Structure 1
Amino acid sequence: MFGFGGQGKGLAVVAILIGLNAPARAGDVLYASLGDTTRSPIGWVEFCAENPGDCRGGASQPRDIVMSQTAWRDLLRVNRWVNETVKPITDMDHWGVIEKWSLPSDGYGDCEDYVLLKRKMLIDAGWPREALLITVVRDKKGEGHAVLTVKSNKGEFVLDNQNENVLAWTETGYRFVKRQSQSDPNVWVSLGDSRPAVATASARDR
């Protein structure tokens, strides 16, 4: 679908593809728990002011994708291609400001910029915007980080510039803080982990 060149597929990826055909097991947590409406990140607000075409929203029906093997391979290709193509740089080094979200048109960016490009590429390829949600998390060090959540009939999966593989959200080790609403990309909702408390006890709250 995307033609980004050959990608090696390890045993872990093969196992995930096989698992896509299997029913969910009892106890699996497929979806994060949604909370109340919360403030949009200032980076998103400023990005939308400069790029309104990438932020068109308005009320719409939430749509999840059907996670077929073809869709899974497309996610892997996009995630790896963007991760390999964009070079990491802090906003301070890049723009001289603490926080700025932008599409990495010059080939450089930080985590939000990787997310924006992956989201745009998938939307341009025909994926429903309602299933592609920019998400703010706390990483394993307790630091702020952004990833792209893909909402599917098989659960929620994460595209991350810190990992070449696409993982189920429960496998990331992150503390999920907030993300875009499926019904409107300019509305953000807080997130609560539905996993056992031990899985998130070490992460600091935002």
Structure 2
Amino acid sequence: MYTIQDLYDLNHTLAKAYLEQFTYPWEALKGIKELILTLGPSLSDYEEIARHVWVHPSAVIAPTAYLGAPCIIGPDTEVRHGAFVRGSALVGAHCVVGNSVELKNVILFDHVQTPHYNYVGDSILGYFSHMGAGSITSNVKSDKTLVVVKNGCETIETGLKKFGAMLGDHVEVGCNSVLNPGTVIGRDTNIYPLSRVRGQIPAHSIFKTQEDVVVKKK
């Protein structure tokens, strides 16, 4: 339930070869910056609009958006007014980075939407995943200890101080939800609005509360 293979179809990201090196997705977080710096110069159909900022010509970038280096913005992606891409962001094709959205050290697969007031840091968002308005990834624990991934009584040490959330393909996060550090959400899962989510949430489920997670009806 935790692995890259469980969560993602790697055919929908420029990071495919990079992610294939790892078992767990959070293992990839430390190398995102170096991945972008290596990958960017090889993208012959992209334009380097500023040092270490590569943007596909079909992307639409609002004049008030900030693109921090290094980053890659894919084809037909829209970066809207007031977006703040702090850097180390690999954004795929047909994505939306909306108003007042902040991205930092992330991989967004193709067709990801972060359209309104989202903070996404130290996270990987899978194909066609969607962050509802105001939903955020919390990437540092309040006591500043290292993040662990939990599933009931089982824990996996990550060795990371900064680790937001891993969203599988087709995950829907409801408005104003908080994904606590080390959250892993399986494919095709829906998170209710105003949720506080932590730990591992199974694929094909509906998260109502931490104690009320149900399997989707087929």
What TM-score range do you get, normalising by the shorter chain? under 0.3
| TM-score w.r.t. length of structure 2 | 0.24
User: Whose strand proportion is higher, 1 or 2?
Assistant: 2
